[in-house]
């Protein structure tokens, strides 16, 4: 093939190109030299210990610069070398162009053109710091390229195995009694460095692994400040990295707006490190999310106080105070699971969610006005202060039963004042207990009577609302009539019973 030795001058300020490397692990040049079947030998340039190869490329172009991406082992048999050229100037320009393009090393084949490697090429590689590899006659360039890809595949498999093992160990650490510390310890062990968790105030909350020197620690804290969301609302990057004193530093923001940051310090940057750290960041985001935030801590405090005997009114300020509504919800297609319940709470704007068998209960601030949700049937209580939470829970349950019976997506408990408001509450409750005393021993009869009256005496709708057969409803209503000694077809009797049931 034809070539030319008229190569463009390399600008004095130009340095080696930064390779646009592929998403595959690089191959250490030492691993390629260790292949006995290739019999490669380094004869010039710096030691191969720190050199990596991203691909192999054969070319006989006199100026390979336009055809290199960077990171290559360039293979040449010297076909491009003109006979009349001055060896010193030609090879100096040739090697300088390889270095400027970011080439990792040069492999020179001893057959079929040259019996030995030209001494001027050896000198040029030494001068420009380019590893020069002698390729013996029995080794083909395609064989070298195949070896590079085999080593890449092996490295990729090893990387995937390492990442998989790290994922398992990190997940197991997250399930331990001290999950945050366990995850940090496991991460530091996997990376062979240091892993720390910075809190929203910038201080180190927990850490594991070898303690770095003071300037590295300060640099890591500075990186954490770069990714931490600012109070001003400034958009911050999700991660940042730096190199200092031979160590690789990286910081990762945990969650949107929580302020926690994961920082890592490693001796270098190995393939798969970013994936391993990303897994740990996801786990730590879950562990340090809402439960560790101010709102989550306040709710935990409220729960503890309730369990220790405090009244709802006392703990209400911890979860927002004001007025609330209770929502009871049933999924239309199938029974809800924890994920569906959490999603419903998010849609209603409240994390105060309780999953009890087939019903999800959500405590929602009244100013958020819960609306119908696709795939759900909802019953909503009247707005109440915290001391009215128990009664609101009962209202929501009744509203849900009515919604299911009438096939409405949402029913709200009527909070409009009526004539029964003219009777003092204590007197109304005493009257209710007296009227319904014959049914007091059977809550099922009371629920059936209440539902039946609310649905205007519909047997079918009452059966749907209660989840029983319509004949069971008939039997229960007949039993109520017998125990009360009342004619349930009389509208005056129904009105009095409804009044009593509301105040029971």
Q: Are residues 138 and 81 in the same domain?
A: yes
Q: Are residues 194 and 271 in the same domain?
A: yes
For residues 455-471, give the mean pLDDT. Answer: 87
What token pair was written down for 101? 């393009």
Q: Are residues 101 and 187 in the same domain?
A: no
What token pair was written down for 425? 């509450």
For residues 440-448, give the mean pLDDT. Answer: 88
In a domain, 170, yes or no: no
User: How confident is the model over 325-357, as pLDDT tens digits?
Assistant: 999 999 887 777 776 777 787 778 777 888 887
pLDDT band for 232, please (50, 70, 90 cuts): very low
Range of the domain at 463: 419-503
Give the full edge-to-edge strand order of the sheet including 324-331.
Answer: 353-356, 359-365, 324-331, 376-380, 410-412
In a domain, 401, yes or no: yes
User: How confident is the model over 474-493, as pLDDT tens digits?
Assistant: 999 999 989 888 888 888 88
Q: Are residues 106 and 136 in the same domain?
A: yes
**pLDDT at residue number 291:** 46
Instruction: Report whether 444 contacts 476 (CB < 8 A).
Output: yes
Q: Are residues 371 and 440 in the same domain?
A: no
**pLDDT at residue number 455:** 85
**How many structural domains is the chain composed of?**
4
- Domain of 82, CATH number, reads 3.40.1390.20
**pLDDT at residue number 289:** 62
Q: Which among 136, 151, 166 is the end of a domain?
A: 151
**pLDDT at residue number 425:** 65
- Domain of 270, CATH number, reads 3.30.450.30
Q: Are residues 396 and 343 in the same domain?
A: yes
In a domain, 179, yes or no: yes
Q: Print burial letters for 435-473: b (CB count within 10 Å at least 16), e (below 16).
A: bbeebeeeeebbbbbbbbbbbeebbebbbbbbeeeeebb
For residues 408-432, give the mean pLDDT. Answer: 70
Instruction: Report whether 78 contacts 118 (CB < 8 A).
Output: yes
pLDDT band for 223, please (50, 70, 90 cuts): confident
Q: Are residues 268 and 238 in the same domain?
A: yes
- Taking the C-alpha atoms of residue 37 and residue 435, their distance in angstroms, rounded to an integer, is 100
Please report where in the chains the tokens 């366990």 appear, as a residue. Answer: 182
In a domain, 441, yes or no: yes
Q: Is the pLDDT of residue 426 over 50?
A: yes
Q: Are residues 62 and 118 in the same domain?
A: yes
Average pLDDT, the chain: 83
**pLDDT at residue number 423:** 60
User: How confident is the model over 71-124, as pLDDT tens digits?
Assistant: 999 999 999 988 877 888 999 999 999 999 999 999 999 988 899 999 999 999
- Domain of 466, CATH number, reads 1.10.10.2840
**pLDDT at residue number 323:** 85
- Domain of 332, CATH number, reads 3.30.70
Tell me what percent of the residues of the chain surpass a pLDDT of 90: 27
Q: Are residues 249 and 231 in the same domain?
A: yes
Q: Are residues 391 and 495 in the same domain?
A: no
For residues 286-306, give the mean pLDDT. Answer: 65
Q: Is the pLDDT of residue 6 over 50?
A: no
**pLDDT at residue number 492:** 84
For residues 377-400, give the mean pLDDT. Answer: 88
Say how many CA atoms lie within 13 Å of 87 toward its Cβ: 10
Q: Which among 86, 118, 151 is the end of a domain?
A: 151
User: How confident is the model over 141-176, as pLDDT tens digits?
Assistant: 999 999 999 998 888 888 888 888 888 888 888 887
Cα dihedral 468, 470, 475, 477 sign:
positive
User: Which of 81-90, 225-234, 329-338, 384-393 shows the lowest mean pLDDT across its residues?
Assistant: 225-234
Q: What is the CA radius of gyration of the chain?
A: 38
**pLDDT at residue number 141:** 95
Q: Are residues 376 and 432 in the same domain?
A: no
In a domain, 307, yes or no: no
Q: Is the pLDDT of residue 255 over 50?
A: yes
Phi, psi of 213 (to 5 degrees): -65, 165
In a domain, 296, yes or no: no
Q: Are residues 269 and 360 in the same domain?
A: no
Q: Which among 412, 440, 455 is the end of a domain?
A: 412
In a domain, 427, yes or no: yes
Cα dihedral 368, 369, 373, 378 sign:
positive
**pLDDT at residue number 23:** 56
- Taking the C-alpha atoms of residue 74 and residue 67, their distance in angstroms, rounded to an integer, is 10
In a domain, 209, yes or no: yes
């Amino acid at each position: 093939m034809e070539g030319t030795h008229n190569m463009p001058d390399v600008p004095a300020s130009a340095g080696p190109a930064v390779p646009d490397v592929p998403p595959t692990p690089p191959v250490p040049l030492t691993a390629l030299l260790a292949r006995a079947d290739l019999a490669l030998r380094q004869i010039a340039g710096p030691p191969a210990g720190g050199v990596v190869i991203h691909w192999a490329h054969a070319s006989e172009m006199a100026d390979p610069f336009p055809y290199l991406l960077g990171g290559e082992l360039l293979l040449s048999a010297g076909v491009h070398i003109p006979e009349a050229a001055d060896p010193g100037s030609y090879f100096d320009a040739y090697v300088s162009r390889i270095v400027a393009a970011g080439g990792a090393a040069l492999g020179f084949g001893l057959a079929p053109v040259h019996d030995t490697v030209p001494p001027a090429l050896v000198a040029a590689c030494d001068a420009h710091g380019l590893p020069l590899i002698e390729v013996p006659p029995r080794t083909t360039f395609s064989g070298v390229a195949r070896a590079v890809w085999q080593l890449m595949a092996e490295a990729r498999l090893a990387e995937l195995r390492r990442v998989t093992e790290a994922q398992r160990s990190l997940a197991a650490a997250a399930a331990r009694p001290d999950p945050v510390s366990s995850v940090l310890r496991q991460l530091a062990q996997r990376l062979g460095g240091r892993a720390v968790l910075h809190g929203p105030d910038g201080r180190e909350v927990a850490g594991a692994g070898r303690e770095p020197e003071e300037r590295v620690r300060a640099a890591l804290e500075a990186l954490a400040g770069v990714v931490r969301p600012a109070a001003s609302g400034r958009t911050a990057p999700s991660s940042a990295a730096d190199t200092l004193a031979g160590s690789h530093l990286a910081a990762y923001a945990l969650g949107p707006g929580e302020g926690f940051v994961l920082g890592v310090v490693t001796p270098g940057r190995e393939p798969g490190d970013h994936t391993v750290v990303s897994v740990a960041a996801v786990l730590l985001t879950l562990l340090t999310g809402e439960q560790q935030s101010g709102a989550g801590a306040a709710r935990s405090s409220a729960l503890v106080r309730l369990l220790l005997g405090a009244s709802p009114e006392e703990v209400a300020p911890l979860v927002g105070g004001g007025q609330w509504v209770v929502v009871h919800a049933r999924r239309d297609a199938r029974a809800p699971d924890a994920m569906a319940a959490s999603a419903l709470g998010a849609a209603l704007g409240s994390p105060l969610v309780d999953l009890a068998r087939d019903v999800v209960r959500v405590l929602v601030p009244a100013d958020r006005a819960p609306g119908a949700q696709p795939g759900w049937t909802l019953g909503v209580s009247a707005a109440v202060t915290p001391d009215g939470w128990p009664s609101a829970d009962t209202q929501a349950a009744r509203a849900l039963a009515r919604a299911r019976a009438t096939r409405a997506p949402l029913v709200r408990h009527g909070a409009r004042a009526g004539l029964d408001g003219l009777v003092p509450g204590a007197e109304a409750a005493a009257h209710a207990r007296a009227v319904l005393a014959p049914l007091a021993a059977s809550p099922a009869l009371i629920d059936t009577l209440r539902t039946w009256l609310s649905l205007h005496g519909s047997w079918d709708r009452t059966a749907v609302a209660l989840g029983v057969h319509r004949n069971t409803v008939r039997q229960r209503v007949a039993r109520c009539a017998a125990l009360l000694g009342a004619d349930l077809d009389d509208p005056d009797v129904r009105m009095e019973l409804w009044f009593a049931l509301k105040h029971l």
